[in-house]
C-alpha cells in the first residue's frame, strides 16, 4: 500500500472510531437523562390556611383535595382558625378525620360547645364558657384547648409530621410573631386569641393576640420553601342581615374582618401565591360553628377549583 492510500485508510478508521465513540457517548447521555427524569421529585407544596372564624371549617375540604391527589404539603402556615386546622393536619390526621371533628360542632348556640366538651373531653360547659373579663376577654379558651390536645396528641412542633408555622400578633410591638418550634398548644392559643373574645396570651415575655390581626393569610412565609404555594382565604362573603344597624358583637367581629381583608388585598398587590382559593361562604359569623353542613356545601365549588388547578400545576411540573 502506498503512503497516500495508507493515510486515507488511517484517516477513515479514526473518523469511524470517533463517530462510534461519540454515538456511545450520546447513548450514555440519553440513558443518564432518562434515569434523571425517572427519579425527578414531585414539586413541594406550601399551604397557607387563613383566619376567619367559623368559615375556617372550609379548610377541611381543601385538605381532602390534597389527600385525594396523594399530595402532602412540605410546610403549612396558619393564622387563627388556620393555625388550629393546620395543627390537626400536621399532627397526622387526614382531611376526613378533621371533617369528623368539625361535625362535632354541629348544633346551635352553646349546645355546640356543650356537645364538644362533655362528649369528648369530659368537661362541663362552664369550663369552656367561663367568663374571663378580668383577663381581657369574654371567654376562657382552656376547655377548647383541652379538647384540642386530645385530638392532636402532639405537644411540640418537633412531633408533627411536617413543618408548621403559626402566626400570632405582638400586642405591644404590633408585629407578627411566627412560631415554628417548641410548645404547640400555647402557640395555637395565642394565634386564636381574638381580641375581646379570648384573653391575650403571655409567651416569652410577649403579650400575644390573634394572628389574623397582622397576617391573616400567611402565604408569604413560604415563598422560598415551596415550588407551588397554595393560599386558602376563608374570610367569607359579608352580606346584609336586614338589621338597621349591627349589634355590638357583630360590629366588633365584622370590623376585624374588614381589617383582615384589607391586609390580604394589599399584600396580594405585591406578592401573589401560585394558587389562590377563596370559598364563597356567605353570611357566616365568626362563631357560627353550628353551620358546618352549610359551610361545606358553599365551599364545595372552591374545592373543585383547587383540585383542577393543582392537578394542572402538578402535570406541568
**Can you tell me which residue has the cell 398587590?**
269
CA quadruple 56, 82, 139, 107: dihedral positive or negative?
positive
- Per the residue annotation, which of 51, 74, 79, 80 is the catalytic one? 80
Query: Grid coordinates representing 188?
Result: 395555637
Contacts of 73 (CB under 8 A, 6+ apart): 44, 45, 46, 47, 66, 162, 226, 230
d(CA 75, CA 61): 18
210 classed as catalytic: yes
Contacts of 193 (CB under 8 A, 6+ apart): 137, 141, 168, 199, 200, 201, 208, 209, 210
Query: Grid coordinates representing 269?
Result: 398587590
DSSP state of 138: S
- Per the residue annotation, which of 140, 170, 210, 220 is the catalytic one? 210
C-alpha distance from residue 93 to each of 58, 71, 156, 260 (Å): 16, 14, 16, 28
Q: Which residues are catalytic?
A: 80, 210
Amino acid at each position: 500500500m502506498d503512503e497516500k492510500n495508507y493515510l486515507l485508510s488511517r484517516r477513515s478508521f479514526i473518523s469511524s472510531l470517533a463517530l462510534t465513540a461519540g454515538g456511545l457517548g450520546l447513548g450514555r447521555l440519553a440513558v443518564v437523562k432518562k434515569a434523571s427524569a425517572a427519579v425527578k421529585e414531585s414539586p413541594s407544596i406550601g399551604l397557607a390556611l387563613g383566619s376567619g372564624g367559623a368559615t375556617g371549617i372550609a379548610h377541611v375540604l381543601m385538605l381532602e383535595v390534597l389527600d385525594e391527589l396523594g399530595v402532602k404539603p412540605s410546610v403549612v402556615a396558619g393564622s387563627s382558625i388556620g393555625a388550629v386546622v393546620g395543627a390537626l393536619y400536621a399532627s397526622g390526621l387526614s382531611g376526613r378525620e378533621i371533617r369528623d371533628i368539625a361535625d362535632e360542632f354541629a348544633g346551635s348556640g352553646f349546645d355546640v360547645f356543650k356537645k364538644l366538651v362533655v362528649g369528648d373531653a369530659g368537661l362541663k360547659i362552664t369550663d369552656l364558657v367561663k367568663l374571663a373579663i378580668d383577663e381581657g376577654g369574654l371567654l376562657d379558651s382552656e376547655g377548647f384547648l383541652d379538647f384540642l390536645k386530645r385530638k392532636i396528641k402532639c405537644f411540640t412542633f418537633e412531633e408533627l409530621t411536617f413543618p408548621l408555622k403559626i402566626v400570632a400578633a405582638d400586642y405591644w410591638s404590633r408585629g407578627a410573631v411566627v412560631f415554628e418550634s417548641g410548645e404547640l398548644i400555647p402557640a395555637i392559643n395565642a394565634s386564636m386569641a381574638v381580641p375581646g373574645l379570648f384573653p391575650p396570651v403571655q409567651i416569652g415575655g410577649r403579650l400575644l393576640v390573634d394572628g389574623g390581626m397582622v397576617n391573616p393569610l400567611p402565604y408569604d412565609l413560604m415563598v422560598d420553601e415551596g415550588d407551588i404555594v397554595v393560599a386558602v382565604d376563608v374570610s367569607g362573603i359579608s352580606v346584609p342581615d336586614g338589621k338597621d344597624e349591627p349589634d355590638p358583637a357583630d360590629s366588633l367581629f365584622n370590623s376585624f374582618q374588614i381589617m383582615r381583608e384589607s391586609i390580604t388585598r394589599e399584600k396580594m398587590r405585591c406578592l401573589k401565591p401560585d394558587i389562590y382559593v377563596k370559598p364563597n361562604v356567605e353570611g357566616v359569623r365568626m362563631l357560627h360553628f353550628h353551620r358546618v353542613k352549610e359551610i361545606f356545601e358553599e365551599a364545595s365549588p372552591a374545592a373543585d377549583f383547587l383540585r383542577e388547578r393543582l392537578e394542572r400545576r402538578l402535570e406541568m411540573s
